[in-house]
Amino acid sequence: MATETNERQRLTVQGFFYNDPDLYPPIVNAIRLLCRAGFSVELFCRETGGPHGVSYPPEARIVRLDHRGKGSWSQFFAFLREATGRARSDAGLFWGHDMHGFVAARIAAWRRGRPFVYHCHDYADPGWMTAGIQVVHAFERRFARTAD
């Protein structure tokens, strides 16, 4: 016989951020707010080798993927492959932050058939973008409206 518990099942939000969240207060605050609102958060981000001095709620799991030592395209594709490969089918939704995180969240949502949301603070000035960033930015501009 199954036992009922008073705790409600936490919905898991899986996030993707292509940088170190400890250095971005909006990411840290978003994780804290989501956990306070009753969600579990698992954030895939890059390992940058810096100190990790930020305290996250116990309902949050920060997964730092280390692909340093490769060229920029190799790093990004390795991040995409590993992060989207670890996307959970039981996640309630996927969350992408900024244009690189958007690409990972969109792919994960498509592969797992789950909704995704997009949050961006970047202002992308085409005048300073490298050719690689222009490709990522074009993907973002083309598919941003597909976010739930």
Nearest to 126 by CA among 141, 106, 144: 141
pTM of the model as a whole:
0.78
42 in Cβ contact with 15 (< 8 Å): yes
Q: What percent of the chain has pLDDT over 70?
A: 74
pLDDT 10s digits, 85-115: 999 999 999 999 887 888 899 999 999 999 9
* Burial class, 142, CB count within 10 angstroms (exposed 0-12 / middle 13-18 / buried 19+): exposed
**104-108: long-range contacts (C-beta < 8 A, 24 or more apart)?**
104/16, 104/18, 104/44, 104/79, 104/80, 105/15, 105/16, 106/139, 106/143, 106/146, 106/147, 107/80, 108/14, 108/16, 108/83, 108/84
Residue 23 has pLDDT above 80, yes or no: yes
Mean pLDDT of the chain: 82
Q: Highest mean pLDDT: which of 66-70, 113-117, 143-147?
A: 113-117
103 in Cβ contact with 97 (< 8 Å): no
